[in-house]
Amino acid sequence: MLSLEQCLDGVYKLPQKEKAEFMACFKTVSFPAKTLLIKEGEESKSIYFVARGSLRSYYGQKDKEVTLWFGHEGDLVTCFRSVIKGEKGLENIQLSEDCTFYEIAYDVLNKLTQQFPEINQFYRKLMEESYLYWENRVMMLLFYTAKERYTKLTERSPFVLQRFPLSQIASYLGITQETLSRIRAEK
Amino acid sequence: MLSLEQCLDGVYKLPQKEKAEFMACFKTVSFPAKTLLIKEGEESKSIYFVARGSLRSYYGQKDKEVTLWFGHEGDLVTCFRSVIKGEKGLENIQLSEDCTFYEIAYDVLNKLTQQFPEINQFYRKLMEESYLYWENRVMMLLFYTAKERYTKLTERSPFVLQRFPLSQIASYLGITQETLSRIRAEK
DNA sequence: AAGGCTATTTGACAAATGTCAAACACTTTC
DNA sequence: GAAAGTGTTTGACATTTGTCAAATAGCCTT
């Protein structure tokens, strides 16, 4: 279980004063496993930090769905598409375990960024890191083979292997569950 | 040939005063086709808007390279990884035509964002849109077949078909040139 | 321990994509 | 207009990956 301060420090080290202001605007919320924190087609208005638990975002319906992202303790969770543009989101975010979050409304965050330059820096750092995550993901998908992507995932995000079923990991890598099973069997 | 004002307005409509301040900090630069605007392993310190021409970013060496992104008039060009983190970049950005850019040093942009809240908003908008580009790209790569991805590319970015060779388009889509040629022949 | 549930593995086969080589089309240059 | 160069298409075949179905493994509940 991470503290809010640990989550925030993981993004950008705010000075004490701003950190205190900022922290006062979060509330703690918990949901059981399988809850859809954010649903496709709905607008979401908050961003969350994961204090405890794990979750993933996925796109598509039952007949075909792909995992976009896995998250766990310390990670930022939101549907940026919805929050930024005020549009309906395209993906679902589902808890794979019971989770506790620190939640802040995007509107509130926005006001804080205007009021406190340091919190603006915080948000900027957050966006920049998120940007790099996706850019990197594209590079991985285009450049490396399925086996290489799997190896890198096991190295960089071992929590994924512990906490998510094979089918979801396979769709994250862009392959089927059977192919991933065979990749694993090879070694 | 787009004006600087057109490029900036395409991102976020700045008030006149801030726009004037901002525009004064850009300089116009031109390079011939095939120039590497940004090279793998180098640090880049500027961001550019494309006034005229087209270009692409790619990752990897001669024996295997993949196209990450295509750009043309009005687009923002930079290696965010390098500019944000002050690290060496991973990709090359190469002009496919003679290009003219509006260039601003990242340091200067940074100072302006601190000085003018509206320019801060501008940068924020820029990052957010860039973020969505890559998130969307991941969704496309995971969810759609090669043929669907090709169709969507032709609809959304027809300039790519006019200005880039098939091999580069194929690597953007994550397939070989021969496969793309066959996809085209089908219809 | 038995039964039911879910996740994973395996097998047989089909479909998609890659590889390599050659042919073709189109420009550019002399 | 011939030659060289580049980009694209096509063919034959190999490899990878997907699909569907069944078997196996593991876990939870009773």
> pLDDT (tens digit, 0 to 9) for every residue of chain B, 187 residues total?
999 999 999 999 999 999 999 999 999 999 999 999 999 999 999 999 999 999 999 999 877 899 999 999 999 999 999 999 999 999 999 999 999 999 999 999 999 999 999 999 999 999 999 999 999 999 999 999 999 999 999 999 999 999 999 999 999 999 999 999 999 998 6
Q: Which is it for strands A27-31 and A99-105: parallel, antiparallel or unpaired?
A: antiparallel
The angle that helices A177-186 and A146-156 make with each other, rounded to 10 degrees, is: 80
b/e map B22-52, b = 16+ CB within 10 Å: bbeebeeeeeeeeeebbebeeebebbbbbbe
C-alpha distances in angstroms, B91 versus B20, B82, B162? 33, 10, 23
Give the per-residue pLDDT at A187.
61
Q: Residue A60: phi, psi to the nearest 5?
A: 110, 175
Q: How far, in Å, CA of B115 to CA of B120, rounded?
A: 8
pLDDT, tens digit, for every residue of A62-114? Answer: 788 999 999 999 999 999 999 999 999 999 999 999 999 999 999 999 999 99
B60 touching chain A per CB within 8 A: yes
How far B33 CA sits from the closest chain A CA (Å)? 24
Mean of pLDDT over chain A: 95
Region A160-174: mean pLDDT is 95
Q: Which of residues 86-125 of B touch A (CB under 8 A)?
A: 90-91, 114, 117, 120, 123-124
Tell me the count of A-B CB pairs closer than 8 A.
91
The helix/strand/coil state of A22 is helix
d(CA A50, CA B111): 33
- pTM flag (> 0.75): yes
Question: At how many degrees (to 10) do helices A4-11 and A16-23 cross?
Answer: 120
Tokens standing for residue B96 = 């496919």
Q: Supply the pLDDT for residue B187.
A: 62
* Closest CA–CA distance from residue A6 to any residue of chain B (Å): 21
Looking only at Cα atoms, what is the longest distance across chain A?
56
